[in-house]
Chains A and B, each alone.
Chain A
Amino acid sequence: MKILFYPGCTLTQKAKNFYDTAVAGFKELGIELEELKNWYCCQADFSLVTDNLMAMLAASRNLVSARKEAAELAVSCSTCYNVLKRTNHLLKNDDAKRKAITDFLEEKYDGSLKVLHLLEILRDNVGFENLAKKVKNSLAGLKIAPYYGCLLLRPDDEMQFDNPENPAIFEDFIHALGAEAVDYAHKSECCGSYLLIPSRDVVVARADKILSNAIDKGANLVITSCPLCQFNLDWTQELIKKQKGSFPTIPVFYFTELLAYALGLIKDFDKERHFVPPIIR
């Protein structure tokens, strides 16, 4: 089975390991992620200015060209997923804005594309029970803290992904790989996102709060599906250590890295793309 795939910019560079493990992992599960031709950057931010339609053009172009090829589009990065899904929601439900945008693009589009996250495909197309059967390197014994962040889940009425206050899809994924999911308070708190540039302290404080809570609850590692969350939680640990004197570091993975590992496709993780050494045992 083939699914049209939108990787997003980060997955071609900083998060190449996310890209590689996603494509390999899904192939092993019988799903070929076929990259959308001529995709653009999604613009990395869903504009909250209601009349700023210019900020939705890039996402709209991607959606329009994807719909020409398929009915569904798979997305890996949480941010891209958020931007594309919300833009699609707007194009589907706001007649005036849809007209303005499609007139400008000189295209016809009705918002009928289904934007899916890779986790949803694992749940609905593969099935977590089937996934569990294909695991070769069980992660039994590992305690994994799922980190959702904000963009996968919110806003609830547009994303319709999982319960934003008490999500479960990552937990089900973790159980399928044989590991234990750690229940901790901050799994859907914001990591600070782009504040890393203007106010680094905010991100360091938030990363400390999130990771300390996960470590307290016994986590060995954290998984996420967002390159910016991954970077913020991973890279800041050195700073946290400096600030606090000591900090028991914890590796932060893309969920697909563990998927590929559990399916026996890789033995090691991409050390160059991790700051805290990616060691799981």
Chain B
Amino acid sequence: MKKIGVFICWCGSNIADVVSVDKVLAVISKHPGVAHCEYYKYFCSEPGQRLVEDAIKNKSLDAIVIAACSPSMHEATFRKAAERAGLNRYQCEITNIREQCSWVHRMKKGEATQKAIDLISGTIEKLKLNESLQPITTPVTKRALVIGGGITGMQAALDIANAGVEVVLLERAPSVGGHMSQLAETFPTLDCSQCILTPRTVEIAQHPKIKLITYAELEELSGYLGNYTAKIRKKAAYIDRVKCTGCGLCIEKCPKKIPSEFDLGSGQRKAVYILYPQAVPNKPVIDPENCMYLLEKKCGICQKVCEVKAVDYEQKDEIIEEKVGCVVVATGYDLYPVKDIAEYGNGRIKDVIDGLQFERLNSASGPTSGAIVRPSNGDVPKDVVFIQCTRSRDPEKGVSYCPGICCMYTGKHAMLYKRKVPDGQAYVFYMDIRAPGKDYEEFIQRGIEEERTLYIRGRVARLYEENGKVIVCGIDTLTGKIIEIKADLVVLATAMLPRATAKDLAKKLNISTDEYGFYREAHVKLKPVQSNTMGIFLAGCCQGPKDIPYSVSQAGSAASKVLALFGSDKLSSEPIVATVDESLCAACGVCVANCPYNAREIDEKRKVAVVKEMLCQGCGACVAVCPNKACQLKNMTTEQVMSIMKELE
């Protein structure tokens, strides 16, 4: 039989004031199998740990119980001490007699002492059946996949690549840049968005460690931490993007014009197009839904004019595979569609636009070359109304949360408008001003004091058109007066939403989403960029609405997690995982369906359930559901659980 040592910690007075350590010592010393028992004020201290080590060596102990604080505090400390004394770390168990005993039973000292004795006895019985285990190790592919080529994804890719690690950067659109490439200027410093973004896009394109794949989407992710295989669908561009020189002749000659998605309807593009003039890669794609040749075999002009014969109408979607060790998800956000807001005209009023449309109007590279004009007739608007919190902070009709950036960009819009139209008036309807970032509050105040932006605290009930104006019916809740403004232009700060495709991707990646559909972090404070699946990291607006500075710092944070993961050649993980007694397993698959970590599968050849040990988190869900009791958790077998229960009777 194992020779077991028990160490009862006083934790100063934390335990000893409530639990009678003398009595515990007396009772436990007589417990069958206990070869050594002692107490001490602080076993976690240096001399305390030495006491433990000495006892293991001098009394040739096979296993030890530390009765002290929570294992989340000092399990690692004492397991290291046990290892130093020559024991396997899994022959050391903690009994929590502080948080789960002395702290919560301060008024019932006698019963607390008995509870401590029972808990320790249970641990001793369990420990008698503990196996010595070794950590599970696996080789790691030191290559990262970043999904999303907006500012967040680009920053994460650069941070990883600059550390010398290879990155595959995947972007759905034909070019990288994301929403930030649509912005005119950025708060609170009013840098031109393109000017601070384009150096990044160029660096991405030229970086030897970054493999940029645009116009492509993730089809499937298989494997596990350190060893993923990503199946990627490269959409047919109908242009050989290797041959293409980006001369732009095809775009110039294409006869088909359609509203540009990049300009959100205010500008036009051709059926063969690049997103915007500075796009990276600067090579066009053909839009099959609008190309007259692909639709009806008419036209074909682009093929005729292309000097390097890059146009290929026969091109098909291509599936490629990339091996990576981990994934950074940075897929960004969508805006609440104006067409879904009935009281603001369902998108039928031309002079009612959203914040991104205003950015395109205001952008020097936008369809109006930066002139702010009314979409309905091209006139310069003299009264512009900005409505904040449109469908955000509105649980009845929209979302409950505050996106946290609208106050800032609306303040910026009003300021930039005033600079371009000095005799115009900007009105902002607001609920509260939320400007908690660095230099943010000062920025808002500048708009109010220097540009005379008129802030009206209240909501707007409706918008309608009358005599060529947009009538804004609202209320000023500070004076209680109903307000009507005849506006030339209305800009809605609509709620930021998860991508429409977010749930789809979450399924492919096996990560979870919150009640709104944003990707859920593993811990809101302590693991903000980790998903609940090991090796999948989150950054930027896909995890929740945020501004550029916050997105960029999250990208850096995710990159550092990737690099930490790639710091060693092998990944190791806890060996407390599920096992299968193959003689009992009927391959019914209940464990597969109930595993939250995708760690179980059926080996179809041998007709048994198997455990992917790298993915298993030892939660025990499969053990509980297995109808044949074929699943067991290492060092927490049914027999062990029953032996603990016996002591607690």
Contacts and interface: CB of A to CB of B under 8 A. Distances in A.
Interface in B521-541: none
B464 A163 contact: no
Interface residues on B, range: under 10
A165 B464 contact: no
A153 to B, nearest CB: 11
Given A185-B465, A185-B466, A166 B342 contact: yes
B150 to A, nearest CB: 33
A166 B465 CA distance: 14
B317 interface: no
A166 B346 contact: yes
Interface in B304-363: 342-343, 346
Interface string A180-223: 00000110000000000000000000000000010010000000
Contacts of B465: 185
A185 B342 contact: no
Contacts of B467: 216
B471 interface: yes
A216 B465 CA distance: 12
A164 B462 CA distance: 12
B471 to A, nearest CB: 7
B471 A185 contact: yes
Interface residues on A, range: under 10
A213 B346 contact: no
B466 A165 contact: no
A163 B466 CA distance: 22
Given A185-B464, A185-B465, A213-B466, A165 B342 contact: yes
Contacts of A164: 342
Contacts of A165: 342-343, 346, 462
A186 B484 CA distance: 14
Nearest to B346: A166
Nearest to B466: A185
Contacts of A163: 342
Interface string A144-185: 000000000000000000011110000000000000000001
A213 B471 CA distance: 12
Contacts of A216: 466-467
Interface in A211-241: 213, 216
A213 B346 CA distance: 20
Nearest to B342: A165
A213 B464 CA distance: 11
A185 B462 CA distance: 10
A166 B463 CA distance: 12
A186 B343 CA distance: 11
Nearest to A163: B342
A276 to B, nearest CB: 23
Contacts of A185: 464-466, 471
A164 to B, nearest CB: 8
Q: Is the interface of A mostly helix, strand, loop or mixed?
A: loop
A202 to B, nearest CB: 11
A190 to B, nearest CB: 11
Nearest to A167: B342
Interface in B412-464: 462, 464
A165 B347 CA distance: 13
Contacts of B466: 185, 213, 216
Contacts of B343: 165
A164 B467 CA distance: 24
Contacts of B464: 185-186
A213 B467 CA distance: 10
A166 B464 CA distance: 12
Contacts of A186: 464
Interface string B453-494: 000000000101111000100000000000000000000000
A214 to B, nearest CB: 12
Interface string B546-577: 00000000000000000000000000000000
Nearest to A189: B462
B433 to A, nearest CB: 28
Contacts of B462: 165
Contacts of A166: 342, 346
A166 B348 CA distance: 11
A165 B342 CA distance: 5
A213 B469 CA distance: 13
Nearest to A185: B464
A123 to B, nearest CB: 20
Nearest to B396: A157
Contacts of B471: 185
A191 to B, nearest CB: 16
A186 B464 CA distance: 9
A164 B343 CA distance: 9
Nearest to A165: B342
Nearest to A212: B466
A216 B462 CA distance: 19
Contacts of B346: 165-166
A163 B343 CA distance: 10
A185 B346 CA distance: 13
A148 to B, nearest CB: 13
A105 to B, nearest CB: 33
A185 B466 CA distance: 8
A26 to B, nearest CB: 31
A169 B196 CA distance: 52
A117 B471 CA distance: 32
A164 B342 CA distance: 8
A162 to B, nearest CB: 11
B105 to A, nearest CB: 41
A122 B583 CA distance: 70
A166 B342 CA distance: 7
A96 to B, nearest CB: 24
A238 B415 CA distance: 48
A186 to B, nearest CB: 8
A17 to B, nearest CB: 32
A213 B473 CA distance: 15
A186 B471 CA distance: 12
A164 B397 CA distance: 13
B340 to A, nearest CB: 11
A277 to B, nearest CB: 28
A205 to B, nearest CB: 11
A222 B343 CA distance: 22
A185 B467 CA distance: 11
A165 B341 CA distance: 9
A116 to B, nearest CB: 24
A194 B417 CA distance: 44
A165 B467 CA distance: 20
Q: Which of B342, B465, B467, B471 has the most CB of A within 10 A?
A: B342
A195 B30 CA distance: 88
A216 B466 CA distance: 9
A164 B464 CA distance: 15
A185 B470 CA distance: 11
B472 to A, nearest CB: 12
B462 to A, nearest CB: 8
Q: Which of A163, A165, A213 has the most CB of B within 10 A?
A: A165
A165 B466 CA distance: 17
A166 B345 CA distance: 8
Contacts of B342: 163-166
A172 B82 CA distance: 82
Nearest to A213: B466
A213 B465 CA distance: 10
B203 to A, nearest CB: 48
B416 to A, nearest CB: 30
Given A185-B465, A185-B466, A185-B471, 13 more contacts: A163-B342, A164-B342, A165-B342, A165-B343, A165-B346, A165-B462, A166-B342, A166-B346, A185-B464, A186-B464, A213-B466, A216-B466, A216-B467
16 contacts: A163-B342, A164-B342, A165-B342, A165-B343, A165-B346, A165-B462, A166-B342, A166-B346, A185-B464, A185-B465, A185-B466, A185-B471, A186-B464, A213-B466, A216-B466, A216-B467
Interface of B: 342-343, 346, 462, 464-467, 471
Q: Which 3 A-B pairs have the closest CB atoms?
A: A165-B342, A185-B464, A165-B343
